[in-house]
A and B are shown apart, each in its own frame.
Chain A
Amino acid sequence: MLDASEGHVTADGRKIGGVVMEMRNITLRFGGVVAIKDISFDIREGEIRAIIGPNGAGKSSMLNVISGFYNPQEGEVWYKGQKRPPMKPYQVAQQGIARTFQNIALFEGMSVLDNVMTGRIRQMKTGLLAQALWKGRAEAEEVANRAAVEKIIDFLEIQHIRKTPVSRLPYGLKKRVELARALAAEPSILLLDEPMAGMNVEEKEDMSRFILDVNDEFGTTTVLIEHDMGVVMDLSDRVVVMDYGKKIGDGTPEEVRSNQAVIDAYLGVAHD
């Protein structure tokens, strides 16, 4: 059941609200492959919700279901207290769900600034005719949104590469720009698919700090896929554990860590 009223305050003083999204009995198949099998879990407002699991467990598929890229064969997605009808990905984005990708998906031919500005689609609604004239509505809208984007650019410390074409950036910075683009949407739910994969220790620390700060500062609800258990334990409020498309654990980091099924999955105990 949705209990939008309930809420609590964490030990470090962040406010966790009621359920904003609920996945109910989701099953996703690709031909014969069952990527997600009858999984249910919820996401609370303001929390950092991690999804972990071994390779091929179905974590990315789950994010793709949330962002409307895949339509599950069975199950329901409930968002802000309402059952979500089947939607195109861009409609899901318009509802305030933003994401980053496991394999960076920036617009390589555009500058950092343009990439991040593209994240403001939800906020920029001026019609084509007004844009053609520029002076007036279009310019005012551009300036207002540019100001908002500059705050995010400052926040993520990428001012110095603002005008650089994305294709010239190193991997770690690209990941950060992608986070900036997602944040620019001022999302209700932020989905991060392995934001620290392939980073060195220092970059990982930076990224962890950014994710925490974003959550702290803007109260952004965050769903995080991550392999590094240390990072997960540090960052997340609650963890969903997946293995072979099934949910094998769900709870606080401590609960999950002591869950026998989770330990087995991670130690590679044979499945029968």
Chain B
Amino acid sequence: MFYREAGDFKTSYVDDSQTFPIRVDRYGYYALLAVAFGVLPFLVNDYWVNAVLLPFLIYAIAAIGLNILVGYCGQVSLGTGGFMAVGAYACYKLMTGFPEINIFFHVILSGGITAAVCVLFGLPSLRIKGFYLAVATLAAQFFLVWLFNRVGWFYNYSASGQINAPERTVFGIAVTGAQNPPWAAYLFCLVFTVGCALIARNLTRGMAGRKWMAIRDMDIAAEIIGVNPLKAKLTAFAVSGFFVGIAGALFFSVYLGAIEVGEAFGINKSFLVLFMVIIGGLGSIFGSFAGAAFLVLLPVFLKNVLVGGLGWPTDLAAHLEFMIVGALILIFLIAEPHGLAQLWRVTKEKLRLWPFPH
């Protein structure tokens, strides 16, 4: 079958602004959702969920959040780890403080709280740009980690300074705590990932997204044609913080279950998510997924092939991973700032013309 929009003419502006304008894409997307919700939960085991699916789903949310800020609105942030920590600690305080409320709402509220914190740390963006803004968000990163380490109230004065997620259920099935079945944890995260992606897509295809991109491309012109820069930037920080906070909450409560803030949400995390966005593609929701998948799968792949298959020592494989990621970042930054998403688009363009390239 040919991949093209032939015979698929748009007869209305509603059709034209669809998420997947080409029919084959659309069916592929529905099929993917059906498999993700209807088939995978029956197949997955503990290894797949914990090594691949949960980190992929959660990092995808974080990458979408950061992409809104960096890729769509052009505001650099190195504070993603710190903001994820805000989501995690908000979730912990809510879970332990209001055990009668469903964890689902705790996660959403954690996103809301992180959004507020993110706006606060986004205020400098009204005055400073680029490198200086990056440094300001870096300060936020270190401050937040320090805060959660130091102030006992955040970790309920536990002796270890760690926080542990108590068991919480949805429809009577545990999604957090030591006893949660892998498929339940997976489905719980999947719901959030799909929800966040839809919201992000809706915002970016409408006026909110256009305002962000206008600020990104030329802030002075944007203001002169009517974009309120203060509102546009702060909504980007808020929406970004909302997603990153949800990712942090899920990372702590569903994925790890117990964390020490410096380890789980250190500066490394900020860079990891930033790399996902760069490799996946700045300014693309699909790219956020691609980048998250790539950086989650790469170490798994290297470990299985090099260590498991060829018998390399683990640390050598880990070093190779650093080198690959480093090289890819350079390649993408220089040659293809729109990342994997753009490579995918180009492939599709070619496919659309195939087999008659002229």
Contacts and interface: CB of A to CB of B under 8 A. Distances in A.
Query: Is chain B a partner of chain A in the same complex?
Result: yes
Interface in B169-220: 199, 202-203, 205-208, 210-211, 213-214, 216-218, 220
B226 A122 contact: yes
Given A105-B218, A110-B217, A131-B207, A69 B224 contact: yes
Range class of the B interface residue count: 20 to 34
A107 B214 contact: yes
B227 interface: yes
B241 interface: no
A146 interface: yes
Interface in A4-27: none
Contacts of B221: 101, 105-107
A118 B211 CA distance: 7
A110 B210 contact: yes
A101 B220 CA distance: 11
Interface string B238-256: 0100000000000000000
Contact of A89 (B16, B206, B211, B224): B224
Contacts of A142: 13, 17, 206-207
Contact of A134 (B16, B202, B228): B202
B220 A105 contact: yes
B235 interface: yes
Contacts of B222: 107, 118
Interface string A170-210: 00000000000110010000000000000000000000000
Contacts, number: 103
B122 interface: no
A93 interface: yes
B226 A94 contact: yes
B213 A110 contact: yes
A143 B13 CA distance: 6
A182 B221 CA distance: 11
B13 A90 contact: no
A98 interface: yes
Contacts of A117: 207, 210
Contacts of A68: 224
A99 interface: yes
A121 B208 contact: no
Nearest to B337: A109
A109 B17 contact: no
B210 A89 contact: no
Contacts of B225: 90, 93, 98-99, 118-119, 121, 181-182, 185
A128 interface: yes
B217 A108 contact: yes
A133 interface: yes
Interface of A: 67-69, 88-90, 93-94, 98-99, 101, 105-110, 114, 117-122, 124, 126, 128, 131-134, 138-139, 142-143, 146-147, 150, 181-182, 185
Interface of B: 12-14, 16-17, 199, 202-203, 205-208, 210-211, 213-214, 216-218, 220-229, 235, 239, 283
28 contacts: A68-B224, A88-B228, A89-B224, A90-B225, A90-B226, A93-B224, A93-B226, A106-B217, A107-B213, A107-B218, A108-B218, A109-B216, A109-B217, A117-B210, A118-B214, A118-B222, A119-B225, A121-B207, A121-B211, A121-B227, A131-B202, A131-B203, A131-B206, A142-B206, A143-B14, A147-B13, A182-B225, A185-B225
